[in-house]
Amino acid sequence: MPELPEAETIARGLAVVLPGKVIRGVTVIREDVVAGTTLQFGASLKGRRFREVGRRGKNVILVLDDGARVVVNLGMTGRFVPGAGPGPPPASTHPAVLFHLEGGGCVVYDDVRRFGRLQRLSRAEWTRWSRRLGPEPLSRSFTGRRLRAILSGSRSPVRSLLLDQRKIAGAGNIYAVEALWFARIHPRTPANEVGDEAAIRLHRALRRVLRAAVDAGGTTLRNYRAPDGKEGLFRRRLHAYGREGRPCFRCRTPIERIVFGGRSAFCCPRCQPC
């Protein structure tokens, strides 16, 4: 599932293409990826101009000239593919929504498994929606002290807390597992038992991992691609995620895979004792 680095990479790619462009029309091919009726969705966007493209958590945010937003949750396989013609370009194998642009061309929301979702929110709706998410882990306001306060308020396993978008927006399983490996914290550790020093290590590790992944264009394991079609290269730099049975880069102990909360986690049994 695309996480913060993948959503950031997609947003940056679209920021080169969309701002200033006017939506001539919208074609919804797969109705299940759009919130509300397709007629309402298309009518609310026709004639609007893209002002900017941003990100909130794991979501790509298309900002319109009237202050409304199109919030795009990428689900597991959502991506955007720009095209020069009126229809989906060849790179779009599973087109779901087409944004037709004045002057020619379109931008396609493409989604193999169709777990993604697009919804238009008014300015007020956007404010309420955004407030339900936790802080951005790469923001200046996300300090070690703030993370410690978040951790201290929960007995959930620390990996589970990192995945809770109401607590911290954007971190997903790949980067939570990587950050915990760097911080030498076992994924099952109750969040409120993570001490002050460990919380500082986790804060630094999470920010470092996310920044490095953004610089690498995200992590491509299967379907993820940036708008220009490039794969994310952070896969080559994974230290724990997906490395079951392979030696830990620190101590050479085989990495273990554990499952809880319905998700796999990976850790070193020696460097990250339970």
Catalytic residues: 2-3, 58, 263
User: Residue 23 and residue 50: Cα distance in Å, rounded?
Assistant: 8
Sequence-distant (≥ 6) Cβ neighbours of residue 213 within 8 angstroms: 4, 5, 175, 219, 232, 234
Under 8 Å between Cβ of 166 and 133:
yes
User: Residue 235 and residue 220: Cα distance in Å, rounded?
Assistant: 6
Token representation of residue 174? 């790949």
Q: Which amino acid appears at position 138 of this protein?
A: L
For 232, the 3-state DSSP assignment is coil
User: Residue 162 and residue 171: Cα distance in Å, rounded?
Assistant: 6
In the numeric block, the tokens 């306001």 are attached to 141
Sequence-distant (≥ 6) Cβ neighbours of residue 41 within 8 angstroms: 26, 28, 34, 35, 118, 120
Question: DSSP assignment, residue 157?
Answer: B
For 257, the 3-state DSSP assignment is strand
User: Residue 122 and residue 25: Cα distance in Å, rounded?
Assistant: 19
Token representation of residue 59? 């979501």
The CA-based angle 10-206-225, given to 5 degrees, is 20
C-alpha 16: how far from chain center: 19
Question: DSSP assignment, residue 192?
Answer: G
